[in-house]
Amino acid sequence: MLNITQFLSSTLVLILIILHGDLSAGAKGAPYNEEGVSTITCAYYSENDPDCKDGKCPRPCEGSPKPYCFATWKNGTDGQIEIEMQGCWSVEDDCMNDSQCVQSPSIQHLNFCCCSEPLCNIKVKNVYYPPTLSPPTTTVPLVGLAAVIVLVFWMWKRFKRQVYYRQQLPTVDPTRDLPPSPGPERPIKLIEVRARGRFGTVWKAQLHDKLVAVKKFPLQDRHSWTTEQDIYRLPHMNHENILKFIGTERRGDNLSLELWLITEFHQNGSLCEYLKGNTITLSELIKMAGSMARGLAFLHDEIPALGDKAAKPAVAHRDFKSKNVLINTDLSCCIADFGLALKFEPGKNPGETHGLVGTRRYMAPEVLEGAISFNRDAFLRIDMYACGMVLWELLARCTATDASVGEYQLPYEEEVGQHPTLEDMQELVVINKVRPAIKEHWLKHTECWDHDAEARLSADCVLERVNQVERNMLTSSLVSPSNTAINAQQLQPLIINTNQGLPPVTPLVQTI
């Protein structure tokens, strides 16, 4: 009840401020400033202003024909007065005091006073009014209005609280649609957090004598946990450039349930983290780009049934980026994080989905403008646009030419910073058709990120282009065992088609 009374008092003060004028007004009989506007200096105090904690911070009030000073307070348990607010006040005829700030008899149960002399509100005089003394009829509407406001506010808060709890407490078992527990829990010891993503936290952990990675999903992201393990359990998914899957577990119960996905552990972390701390040579770029393209091509390919193994459908990753590419100890890459992936089984609907998913800076133009054709090829081309962004990240950190390698940047970081909005990316990529800044010796364009989705290279084409660069390295005299200097001409298959020994291929990088 005390809190409601305090809220009523505060509300009434605010109502008086609204009805009677601005707190920056002046005082009756006060002096005038140079512009002929009456002014007065009052003691000022507000809980939200740490510079005036002692209540003696003078502030001039001007701009009104009748400026006053005011104060509100509460009575402490020891009988002491505790100032709540002080400042400037503007009213018509309600303030009759001059030198003393005496509790107003017109407002019952509210400690309020006003006065008309400079700094007269530093000290206040508390007057007790017996309950039989009724306030003047002019204040009854204000008190009634304040009571209505308090009642409405209380009912609104109660309603919001009930809605919140109804939303938080599920009406059915939240684990009802989850796959059954795979069996006894593995003896896993969590060591440290290695990454935090949209759908979970990745831990470095130990299983027996082996290091593993444990991705922990909260219960509300159970759909991503289910989707990811469904992709890993597809036939033929044991591929060297796909993160090795170990199993899943459910830890805890009820609303504290955690969903674990256990995979192989990679000490070097993601490609994004690796490029932040390291530059790469041309041979390292070839290994990383080639293994990444090989994994993406495998993911996109349909594999027919072989022996007792069923067919593997084409899979679109839908969140391909450097943070979802992991680095092996030999610097080859493998692809991870299939929480948004979509499989396309022949003759079957891929299920309910929407196109605006993924990470903004890696979204293809058709995703940003909401113009996706909901078929397999369209989603695979979206992956290839993102692949072009990752290739740009690799090239930007490669020491293959004499040009200096700058600090690591994400795609479009130079143009829109580290936290672009969806509107930022739409304007940049869709409307202005901008692509990440490229150095002159790259010849300024990669066909993986072509605005026309049908013109983009496939993962198989990217892999062939990378292999072509590797063949050139082996046959070129530009690099010898005793001379590790690298010439930009070795990047030609990735930049422009000048190789005479192979059938013509579309350049991976060409002039815009």
- Residue where the block lists tokens 């391909």: 320
412-419 contacts, C-beta under 8 A, 24 or more apart: 412/361, 412/436, 413/361, 416/361
Catalytic residue among 93, 177, 253, 319: 319
- The count of C-alpha atoms lying within 13 angstroms of the C-alpha of 77, restricted to the half-sphere facing its C-beta, is 1
How many whole angstroms separate alpha carbon 436 and alpha carbon 455?
18
- Residue where the block lists tokens 């910073």: 417
**Per-residue pLDDT of the chain in tens (512 residues, 90 and over written 9):** 445 555 545 554 454 444 444 433 333 445 555 555 557 788 888 766 666 655 557 777 755 556 788 888 887 777 678 888 888 876 645 566 777 888 766 555 567 888 888 888 888 887 755 544 444 555 567 777 888 888 888 777 777 666 554 544 444 445 555 665 566 788 999 999 998 877 779 999 999 999 999 999 988 888 899 999 999 999 999 999 999 999 999 988 777 788 999 999 999 999 999 999 999 988 899 899 999 999 999 999 999 988 888 999 999 999 999 999 999 999 999 999 999 999 998 877 776 566 678 899 999 998 888 878 888 888 999 999 999 999 999 988 988 754 567 889 999 998 898 889 999 999 999 999 998 877 665 543 455 767 777 777 788 888 778 777 767 666 654 444 444 334 444 554 554 332 333 333 333 433 22
Q: Position 106: which residue type?
A: S
C-beta separation of 337 from 318 below 8 A: no
pLDDT at 295: 95
Under DSSP, is residue 264 helix (H, G, I), strand (E, B) or coil? strand
C-beta separation of 313 from 343 below 8 A: yes
pLDDT at 163: 56
- Residue where the block lists tokens 């350049």: 507
How many whole angstroms separate alpha carbon 444 and alpha carbon 496?
10
CB neighbourhood size of 342 (10 A)? 20
Q: Tell me if the pTM is above 0.75.
A: no
pLDDT at 18: 43
Q: How far is CA 415 from CA 20, 31, 362, 390, 409, in A?
A: 51, 57, 14, 17, 11
pLDDT at 10: 54
pLDDT at 262: 95
Token couple for 228: 């990811």
How many whole angstroms separate alpha carbon 84 and alpha carbon 341?
58
Helix axes 282-300, 459-475, angle to 10 degrees: 150
pLDDT at 65: 56
Under DSSP, is residue 447 helix (H, G, I), strand (E, B) or coil? helix
Token couple for 436: 């990440």
Task: Strands of 50-123 (E only): list them.
Answer: 57-62, 67-75, 81-90, 101-102, 112-115
Residue 334 CB partners (closer than 8 Å, separation 6+): 240, 241, 242, 243, 244, 266, 291, 295, 325, 326, 328
How many whole angstroms separate alpha carbon 374 and alpha carbon 353?
9
Domains of the chain: 2-153 (2.10.60.10), 188-265 (3.30.200.20), 269-495 (1.10.510.10)
Q: Comparing C-alpha atoms, which of 54, 80, 476, 139 is closest to residue 282?
A: 476
State the pairing for strand pair 124-125/101-102: parallel
State the pairing for strand pair 258-264/314-316: unpaired
Annotation says 209 is catalytic: no
Instruction: Name the burial class of residue 50, with classes exposed (0-12), middle (13-18) and buried (19+) by CB atoms within 10 angstroms of its CB.
Output: exposed
Residue 366 CB partners (closer than 8 Å, separation 6+): 355, 372, 378, 382, 453
First to last CA, the chain: 71
